[in-house]
Amino acid sequence: MAFLSPDFSPAYPEIFLLIMICIIMLVDLFLDNDQRYFTFILSLISLAGCAVITFVTLSSEVQYTFSGMFVDDLMSDSLKLMVYLTVALVLIYSRNYIRVRGMFKGEFFSLSLFATLGMMVMISASHFIVFYLGLELLSLSLYAMVALQRDSALATEAAMKFFVLGALASGFLLYGMSMIYGATGELHTSKIAEAIQTKTIDHQVLIIGLVFIVAGLAFKLSAAPFHMWAPDVYQGSPTAVTLFIGSAPKLAAFGFTIRLLVDGLGALAADWQGMLIILAVASMAIGNIVAIMQTNIKRMLAYSTISHMGFVLLGFIAVDHNGYSSAMFYVIAYVLMTVGAFGIIMILSREGFEAENLSDYKGLNQRNPWLALIMMFLMLSMAGIPPMIGFYAKLSVLQAIVNTGFIWLAITAVVLSLIGAFYYLRIIKLMYFEAPEHNAPVLPSFDAKILISINGLAVLITGIFPQALMGLSLQAIQTSM
């Protein structure tokens, strides 16, 4: 029997990144502490190389390889390009922060790139085993990154909580996948969808598997009531790691959810739609209400993430291309806002001081007016106030669910968003109307200052002109499904 060599071209970015990770780890062995900057540059070059390869091979055609287990389409390429950009921003924003805390090491960069590789595999997987491999590569890298600051009791505690609850969620997901496999006899998402529609299958077994899969996905999205890890991990982790956890993995989780629920289990949409309604309402309610009581900004942003993920789930509830594309647009907007917010937290932090408490932002306008303006843009966008991108992200999701008849759900989302606007506007009040508690100068590095400015202005500009990103999201969904 002749061995047919697979087409490697759809996986060129993943192959390139894996080779670069191996090179970086080998090179880092021969570098002294004061030469670690070379590892940082190689990591950025790796991400840039992946972006170039992905962009050059960009196509609206859907390509399968490795016996149909790996897919390359416009949606995966778009999400991967956003992942590269996000991880690059995380590394640049984090550079000074991790240097003064003794984390500017090859391990941080290697784990970041391994996590990126896991996200890329998750986004392009079309087979249950490949899904799980990508998920575990991402998860194990994140557990190690949280625990990287070994002399911090908070970080160690956060890593243990993350690991235990993450392992539990992975078990849920794997058990659900095994139930689906037992019912259909298939592991490819396309073949599972075909089997559900054409074969006589015990519906009860499918529903049991679906419940476990949705529970696992809700954990990865940090949706309530599977959100219990997020506030503790966000607060306990070094801010650079919190930024990583709260940004790029959400893009991978979105792609993961599309592949599993829509591509594989789309025939069960009537069943998972009801589950997602409960998760979405609970996430928006718990996230927005509990965030009001927080005094730690990282913990507040964790609850903010929970509420935003509730909005992302609303897009899936619409069960049509407009809904899925609005969810994709929302998750990209969320990542753009989150990267900027945590970037400012790291810029304000310095050796021996973490800018984690809300009181640390009092009078920021007097200390650095430009950073205060950028932070205001980000907070207004998160609150969903026009003309920021956050407003149009919320509007597109609400339009999608109203068009499918869920008017009560849209009203609920609007009311909970109004409640949530309080804690975002509180940050603006502290920056502009309170006297500063610290008079230490805020001196960001030149590259971080340029990037945070572009980041903040992008939130405004893409809000004024959202059509291009909305169009790309819709085209990506339509050509990939």
Q: Look at residue 1 in the predicted model and tell me its pLDDT.
A: 46
- pLDDT for the residue numbered 43: 94
Neighbouring C-beta atoms of residue 10, cutoff 10 Å: 22
Given a cut of 80, whether residue 441 has pLDDT beyond it is no
Which range has the worst mean pLDDT, 23-27, 260-264, 369-373, 438-442? 438-442
User: Strand 63-65 relative to strand 70-72: parallel, antiparallel, unpaired?
Assistant: antiparallel
Look at residue 32 in the predicted model and tell me its pLDDT: 82
Picking from 108, 67, 87, the residue whose alpha carbon sits closest to that of residue 13 is 87
pLDDT for the residue numbered 121: 95
Map tokens 């502290």 to a residue: 430
**Mean model confidence pLDDT for the chain:** 90
Which tens digit of pLDDT belongs to each residue from 16-54? Answer: 999 999 999 999 888 887 788 899 999 999 999 999 999
pLDDT band at 351 (very low <50, low <70, confident <90, very high): confident
pTM of the model: 0.94
Element (H, E) at 84: helix 74-100
pLDDT digits (tens, 9 = 90+) for 48-95: 999 999 999 888 888 888 888 999 999 999 999 999 999 999 999 998
For residues 118-138, one letter each, b for 16 or more C-beta atoms within 10 angstroms of the residue's C-beta and e for the rest, the string is bbbbbbbbbbbebbbbbbbbb
What confidence category does residue 2 fall into, taking pLDDT thresholds of 50, 70 and 90? Answer: low
Q: What is the pLDDT of residue 80?
A: 95
**What phi and psi, each to the nearest 5 degrees, are found at residue 64?**
-110, 145
Q: What is the pLDDT of residues 209-224, one digit of tens each?
A: 999 999 999 998 889 8
Distance (Å, whole) CA 42 – CA 44: 5
For 62, 75, 177, 180, 257, the CA distances from 126, given in Å and listed in that order, are 12, 13, 13, 14, 11
Residues of the chain with pLDDT > 90, as a percent, come to 62
111-154 residue pLDDT tens: 999 999 999 999 999 999 999 999 999 999 999 999 888 888 88
DSSP characters for 20-67? HHHHHHHHHHT--GGGTHHHHHHHHHHHHHHHHHHHHT--SS-EEETT
